[in-house]
Amino acid sequence: MSLIGGLVGGMIGFTFLGPLGALIGSVVGSRMVRNSVRRKNPNNFDHQVAFFAALFACLAKIAKADGQVTKEEINKIEDFITQKFNLDGEQRNFAINIFQKAKDDNVSFDAYAKQLASLLKSSPNSLMIFYELLFELAMADGELHPNEEKLLKKVPKIFGFNDGLYNQLFQKYGLKTQNFYEVLGVSKQMNFDEIRKTYLKKRREFHPDKLISKGLPEELIEKAKEKFIEIQEAYEELEKIHKK
C-alpha cells in the first residue's frame, strides 16, 4: 500500500479536515507539506489517509476507554499493523504515532468517528470494516469494559447503520470469547492456574477412553468425543488470551 507515499502529496488536502487534519498535521509535520507532489486522484487518496488516521485514532480511544492500554490491546494493534495492513517503515510509524497522539489528546471518539462517516458516506462497506476492527480491539483482552461498550454502541448511529448491528457484532466477537469460559465452566475472574485445573478435570471426565471403560454406548461416545474436542479448543483459546 502507498499510504505514506501518497500522504506526502496529500497533506494540503487535509487543511479542511478539522480534528483529523490537526492530528495528521501534528504527526506528519510541515516537512511533508513542503515535499508535496501532484496526485492523480486526490479524493480517493484523501479517503484512504482519513480512513487510516481515523481508524488508529478511534482504536486509541477504545484502548484508553477503560483507563489503560493493556498488553493484549498493544498486541492486537501490532497485529493490525503487521498482519491486516502490512504496514512497515514510514507507514508503521505513521500509524503508531497517530495512535499515541490520539490516545492522549482532547478530541472525542465521536468527533473522529463522525468525520470519518462524513468522508466515507458513499462507502458503507469501508465503515463496516472499521466497526469490526474496533470490536476486535475492544475484545482483545477477553472482555468488554462498560466504557468500551458505550463507545461501540454509538457507532451505528454515527455511521448510519441499523441499531441491531451492535448486537450482531457482539455475537460475533463478544460471545465467542464468553463461550470459551462457559464451555470450561470457568469465569473471567479466575486466574489461569484455576482455569487450567478446571480444564484438566473436565478433560479427564470427557476423555473417550475413560467413557469407553465405563461401557457407554457408541452414540454417547461419539458425542463425548465432540465435547472433548470442544473443551480442548476452548482451553487453547483461553490460554492464548491469558498468556499474552
pLDDT of 54? 87
Please report, for the chain, the start and end positions of each structural domain, with discontinuous segments joined by +: 3-177, 185-243
In this structure, the number of other CB atoms found within 10 A of the CB of residue 83 comes to 9
Q: pTM (2 decimals)?
A: 0.68
pLDDT in tens, 1-54: 444 444 443 443 444 467 888 888 888 763 443 333 333 344 444 556 777 888
Confidence at residue 47, expressed as pLDDT on a 0 to 100 scale: 59
Identify the pLDDT of residue 51.
Answer: 75
- Give the tens place of pLDDT for each residue, 80-103: 998 888 888 888 888 999 999 999
Q: What are the C-alpha distances in Å from 238 to residues 49, 139, 152, 193?
A: 35, 13, 24, 12
* CB-based contact 65:147 (threshold 8 Å): yes
Over 60: is that where the pLDDT of 218 sits? yes
Q: According to the model, what pLDDT value does residue 10 have?
A: 42
Task: Please report the pLDDT score of residue 38 as a whole number.
Answer: 34
